[in-house]
Structure 1
Amino acid sequence: MVRAILPNENQKSTNNHTSLNMKKLSILGLCLVAALSASAQKSLVKEVEGKAKGFNADFAAARDMLKPAMTNPETANDAQTWYVAGTIEYGDYDNLLGKKAVGQNADGQIMGNDLLLGYDYFMKALPLDSIVETDKTGAPKLNKDGSKKIKTKYSKYMVKKMAAHHQDYVSAGQYLWDAKDFDGAYRAWDIYLNMPSNKMLGNDAPAALPDSVSAEISYFQALAAWQAEKLDAALNAFDYALSKGYNKSDLYDYAVSVAAQKAAAETDSVAQEKANRKVVYYADLGNKACGDTTVKYLNIIINDKINNRKYDEAKELLEKAISVSPNNAELYDVLGILYQSQNELDKAQEYLTKAVTIDPTFPKGQLDMGRVIYAQGAKIDEASATLPNAEYAKIRKEKVDPLLRESIPYLENALKNESTEQEARRLLRSIYYSLEDEANLKRIESM
């Protein structure tokens, strides 16, 4: 029988001591590795900082070298890391700008992105840039209220660098717009607009912008947001431009289009109605700014009045516009359509006749004139539908068919214009079918 040999007490003590020493050594080793790792990352950041400075700076190499430090836990929350990252981007921009100034090729999109990244990195570095001041013994210095005294190392440089490039963000937006990076263009112009009020820049922030400049840049920003399909941001930018005095007709046109696009995209009825109200709001502003005679805005306003059964208000608007612009065929056309919507067809025809008389080449006037005459015939036809056949046939021959034929020349004119062709073709198909005009029916159907 083999007996297990048990260690004596002295052996136990020796083994335990050895094990404890091994654990201590292991822990010390891990701490040493961690310290070396942290030290290596910080050394890397310092090395990259050197590469990003001077006449022979290699920004591409510096950018690649710094990437590990931007995600490493030891340096990702260090102000120096983001200070160096921002310095690389602003340095690259300045280098490309210098090339551009002497006629060399410089990629505008890269320049725009340099400025966006430089700003983002510096804004990340600023809140991290705080160092506790210490005395000769290494103890923290205290303020009168007992809090620790804090100083910064990189903030002054970063703030001055951003402020010095403030105006460049206007160009950056243009570069990115030209490259169809509309989201980037929006951000560049947003930085430009908001940098003067950025509290993190303190007294070194750029001076407040004149309203005229803010208005124009906000307008450009709205267009960029629209192209980037950021409809809410676009509408907010349009509103800001208006608040700063922007009053060019293009703004109202685009704002109406964006609000209408938003309304069409909404699935919630409340949100859709809110967007539709915004359409009318911009149309009303545009109408007032353009002198109450711009039909594209009046149409929106009047349709809104009609939808809300405010017919008298709609007529009042149109009559006022006509008194200012009595030779505007479009205004008479809209007034004619308004009367048609109330089933006052004779009155509608009166104003539509004025429209096509003033401008015989106005395709919508031709379409609407033909449509109202057709509607008169259809109204008589419907009212006669229950009469005996002989009476009905007489009314068709003496009243309905002549009105249908009277509408044809106007609708044939409207058929020649792309904007009115589809509706004109639909009405003509119905008329030629009703008149049993097979030749013209085939012609229309073959189009």
Structure 2
Amino acid sequence: MKRVLLSVALCMVASASFAQKKAVSQAESLVKGTADANAFTEARSLIKGAMENAESKDDPKTWYVAGFIEDQQFSNEKTKQVLGQQPNEPVMYDALGHILPYFQKAYELDQKPNAKGKVKPKYTKNIKNTLSANHVYYINGGAYYFDQKDYAKAYDFFEQYLTISDMPMFKGTPTAARDSNFMTVQFYSAVAATQLNDPKKAIAALERAKSTDYRQNDVYQYLCYEYEQAKDSVNLEKTLKEGMEKFPQEKYYLLSLINAYIYSNRSEQAIEYLNAAIQKDPNNAQLYDVMGRVYEGLKDYAKAEEFFTKAYSLDSENADILSNLGRVYYNQGVNKLGEANAITDSQKYQEESAKAKALFEKAMPYFEKVHQLKPDDRDCMTALRGIYYNLNMGDKFDAIEAEMNK
């Protein structure tokens, strides 16, 4: 009796296993040579069940057919494109995006030894041919999603292209070539990653892109931005220094490194790099302006005035430089007036007040010039109001007050 029951159980298992294999074959047959959307829907439903069933989920054919279904739908749309017809791009690229994950699983299972301990792949050749034929279309798919601003999918497609290039089965073939396509895809995969609000992923992609000679200046600048966003000051400074060495003519790295030193209160390092920069580019007004700001932060107003004045002599129409030079005089005037107000001796008070007014008078023409260049600049108008008030220039005070109250 036990033997009979055991036989029945075995028959039931065999029947279930056969049913799943039949479902896989049926799914494969449904999509061969057809563009019928219903056939693809039914085939996907059948193969989904087989991928989840214990009797068929470890069979390489199950996963191969899953990828085959997607490739058939992709090929239908690709054929339209080749014939000059408009393909259904969302359907086309959605199908393409599903092929590789299924084929990777099929390939993994196809390499397992059989009952005799031998590896006899059944699907690897077809997988290799299909992935090789489709390889370039992953670039198109990534570009399609990039244009749609779907950066997650764009990143996924570019990464699939790179994954296929790195698969052992393609070693030594054109699919694995580190050519211009490969370098371009690495770059745009990294760019897409920067749009995902995932600094870790972006940094990994950009660090990888550094290894190829394609738009490296852009890669380094993107990477600096990501390290800054991640508040990784160590790697930020390291990358900025690397960028300075690789692209000595690019001002971005030096100025960014100087800013990093300024914002971290390392004025000595900032001054050191600024001096080096000025030696290389002695007519760069921006460098003198930044040096002036460093000294202003150190409250060395004499030095700040010296460098702001030099910047002004090189670029007298620059509103920022004009504001900085005006500000260094204005703030000294405010400080001097505060000192004067604390003096009880009338004569000394008059002397110190006169010094304060002289500083306000020095600041005035620079802020007036800024006001001409940038009439809506509130900081400039505030400074002018203070200057006119302290110099008893009632008409000008009223005029600037009216402008501010508009």
TM norm structure 2: 0.84
Matches within 5 A, 1:334-373: 334-373=290-329
How far apart are residue 224 of structure 1 and its match? 0.5
Residue 49 (str. 1) matches residue 49 (str. 2): no
2:35·2:76 contact (CA, 8 Å) conserved in 1?
no
2:309·2:325 contact (CA, 8 Å) conserved in 1?
yes
Aligned to 1:105: 86
Aligned to 2:138: 169
Q: Distance in 2 between matches of 1:321 and 1:35?
A: 79
| Code of the aligned partner of 2:278 | I
Matches within 5 A, 1:6-85: 32-54=11-33, 58-85=39-66
2:160 is paired with a residue of what secondary structure?
Answer: helix
Q: Distance in 2 between matches of 1:345 and 1:293?
A: 30
User: What is the aligned counterpart of 1:439 among 372, 381, 398?
Assistant: 398
Gaps of 5+ in 2: none
1:109·1:176 contact (CA, 8 Å) conserved in 2?
no
Aligned to 2:211: 243
Aligned to 1:276: 233
Q: Distance in 2 between matches of 1:217 and 1:130?
A: 29
Matches within 5 A, 1:423-434: 423-424=379-380, 427-428=383-384
Aligned to 1:190: 159
User: What is the aligned counterpart of 2:126 among 146, 157, 160?
Assistant: 157
| Code of the aligned partner of 1:196 | S
Q: Distance in 2 between matches of 1:123 and 1:384?
A: 81
How far apart are residue 121 of structure 1 and its match? 0.5
2:248 is paired with a residue of what secondary structure?
Answer: coil
Q: Distance in 2 between matches of 1:327 and 1:407?
A: 24
Could you list the per-position Cα deviations for residues 346-369 of structure 1 after superposition, in whole angstroms to 9, with x for gaps in the alignment? 222222123233223322212212
Matches within 5 A, 1:232-311: 232-263=200-231, 275-291=232-248, 294=251, 296-306=252-262, 311=267
2:285·2:311 contact (CA, 8 Å) conserved in 1?
yes
1:211·1:245 contact (CA, 8 Å) conserved in 2?
no
1:198·1:205 contact (CA, 8 Å) conserved in 2?
no
User: What is the aligned counterpart of 1:116 among 97, 107, 121?
Assistant: 97
How far apart are residue 304 of structure 1 and its match? 3.2
Gaps of 5+ in 1: 1-19, 134-139, 142-147, 264-274
| Code of the aligned partner of 1:377 | G
Q: Distance in 1 between matches of 2:318 and 2:130?
A: 58
| Code of the aligned partner of 1:39 | F
Aligned to 1:126: 107
2:343·2:349 contact (CA, 8 Å) conserved in 1?
no
Q: Distance in 2 between matches of 1:435 and 1:71?
A: 85
| Code of the aligned partner of 2:405 | S
TM norm structure 1: 0.77
Report which of the two structures shows the higher radius of gyration computed on alpha carbons: 1
Q: Distance in 1 between matches of 2:237 and 2:378?
A: 27
Going from structure 1 to structure 2, the CA distance change for 1:366 and 1:86 (only over 3 Å counts) comes to same
| Code of the aligned partner of 1:75 | S
Q: Distance in 2 between matches of 1:211 and 1:341?
A: 50
Q: Distance in 2 between matches of 1:416 and 1:290?
A: 38
How far apart are residue 111 of structure 1 and its match? 3.1
Residue 230 (str. 1) matches residue 198 (str. 2): yes
Going from structure 1 to structure 2, the CA distance change for 1:369 and 1:221 (only over 3 Å counts) comes to same
How far apart are residue 262 of structure 1 and its match? 2.1
| Code of the aligned partner of 2:240 | A
| Code of the aligned partner of 1:394 | Q
1:361 is paired with a residue of what secondary structure?
Answer: coil
Q: Distance in 1 between matches of 2:86 and 2:183?
A: 32
Q: Distance in 2 between matches of 1:96 and 1:158?
A: 20
Aligned to 2:188: 220
Aligned to 2:283: 327
